[in-house]
Amino acid sequence: MGLNTVYKARTWNLSDLNGISNRTLEIHFKLYEGYVTNTNLLNEKIAELIKDGNLDPTKTAAFSELKRRFGFEYNGMVLHEYYFDNLTKDGSGDPSKDSAFYKAAEASFGSYETWKADFINVGKMRGVGWAICYQDPVTGTLSNHWINMHETGNVAGYKPILVMDVWEHAFILDYVPADRPKYIEAFFSNINWEAVNSRLIATETAKA
Amino acid sequence: MKRREAITSILTLGAGALATGSGIFKAEAREVQTTYKFSTYTPLTYNFDGLKGLDKDMLEQHYALYRGYVNNTNKAQSIMAEMLAAGKADTTEFSEVRRRLGFEYAGMRLHEYYFGMLKPEGSPVDEKLKRAVSAFWGSWENWIADITRTAMMRGIGWAILYYDPVTKGLQNFWIDDHENGNPPGFEPIFVLDVWEHAYIKQFGAGGRRAYIDALLKNVDWSVIAKRLP
Ligand SMILES: [Fe+2]
Ligand SMILES: [Fe+2]
């Protein structure tokens, strides 16, 4: 893929969330569209360079800079899609005890509560980025990761299961910056566990 | 802006109390009993009254974030001193604190350059500054356009006009976060914060350009000129 790929911005039927205002969602959707636009722009510009034969990174900086920004724009686009997909206005707080995610968290962390405490603490880390619960596709185990910006820290080949945005734009209109934990609490009350469960790959460990 | 006074706290094992060189210093960080001597920083204060087109509440919140960087810088120092004294420096905790020093230190210092240049309705552009900048960009307007372009780059961070003490050159840099891209030994001259906390609340997510324009109307250029060696 690449050259002829044009991504279309998706839309979500999301509003009236608990503790995340509609205005925040509005600017957040706009920002997401910016990532889609810029991902497409990078691909377009690379297509032009290919047409002009200006690809050698030892001769033109343009090609390198465009490729260098792939990580930021692609991840900025894709992570937001995971994020909005794992939100719902009918959130139930924690997942049900017989759900696949609950069991996977138990298998990986000993208990769901331990997993949750770990995830929340990742979300409180200094800097802007994401807290992501990843699943190792080989062993099925879950682990929580800090991602700086959009592109630093993602684990190659791992599957994003629960994705939480902790950039300032995700909560700064609703909370003072020091109150990020309150936003995280609100985020949890709006999690779409059905979507989260459906992302899990069944493996021997996950079923155990 | 007066450069911060970095006061080294001299702490001796068993003494338990802070002794300082100047006598005016009151430690914000927790007390440390150690022979290691690290600088402790006090937050500078700023008056945000009367800035034109910039929301005061947003600036006060921004200032609170700056205090967080000062506190975290001090906390990192005292944790490191304690761990060194306790022979616990070969731990991942110590590594993590050290790894984050660049973020906290730069987060602290860059905000001081930034807040320190603000003045209600700004000042006329200093002639010496104008000449220095024009020598590299052809004109003052060209430099303004280039620093604005730098500040409009994708991502969050800073647009900074840096002075190279070796060549006496001036160049605009993009800094990711606070710590990525600062050229070693260069002097920050004009420092513009384009983290989201600097503008989203007042100008919206797409309002970075409007924020930059508003901010440029509140710059004390004589402060900037004084930073030029
Ligand atoms: Fe976001
Ligand atoms: Fe800032």
Domain ranges of chain B: 7-115, 127-227
Q: Which residue has the tokens 């200094």?
A: A126
pLDDT bin (cut points 50, 70, 90) of residue B22 is very low
Using a 10 angstrom Cβ sphere, with 0-12 exposed, 13-18 middle and 19 or more buried, the burial of residue B94 is: middle
Using a 10 angstrom Cβ sphere, with 0-12 exposed, 13-18 middle and 19 or more buried, the burial of residue B140 is: middle
- In three-state secondary structure terms, A192 is coil
Which of A28, A72, A127 has its CB closest to that of B154?
Answer: A72
**How many Å lie between the centroid of ligand 1 and the Cα of residue A38?**
15
Distance, in Å, from the CA atom of B170 to the CA atom of B163, rounded to the nearest integer, reads 5
**Are the Cβ atoms of A169 and B200 closer than 8 angstroms?**
yes
**How many Å lie between the centroid of ligand 1 and the Cα of residue B85?**
42
* B156 in contact with A, Cβ within 8 Å: yes
Q: Where are the domains of chain A?
A: 22-85, 100-207
**Are the Cβ atoms of B64 and A72 closer than 8 angstroms?**
no
pTM above 0.80, yes or no: yes
For range A36-58, the mean pLDDT: 88
pLDDT above 90: residue B135: yes
Domain A22-85 sits in CATH 2.60.120:
no
Topology of domain A100-207 in CATH is minor pseudopilin epsh fold (3.55.40)
Q: Which residue has the tokens 């920050």?
A: B188
What's the token pair of residue B62? Answer: 């921004």
pLDDT of amino acid B17: 32
pLDDT of amino acid A3: 66
Which of B103, B200, B205 has its CB closest to that of A127?
Answer: B103
**How many Å lie between the centroid of ligand 2 and the Cα of residue A46?**
34
Burial B8-24 (b: 16+ CB within 10 A, else e): ebebeeeeeeeeeeeee
Pick the CATH number of B127-227 from 3.40.50.970, 3.55.40.20, 3.40.50.2300, 3.30.420.10: 3.55.40.20
Of A48 and B116, the one with more pLDDT: B116
**Are the Cβ atoms of B205 and A169 closer than 8 angstroms?**
yes
pLDDT in tens, A124-173: 999 999 999 999 999 999 999 999 999 999 999 999 999 999 999 999 99
Using a 10 angstrom Cβ sphere, with 0-12 exposed, 13-18 middle and 19 or more buried, the burial of residue B26 is: exposed
CB of A36 closer than 8 Å to CB of A8: yes
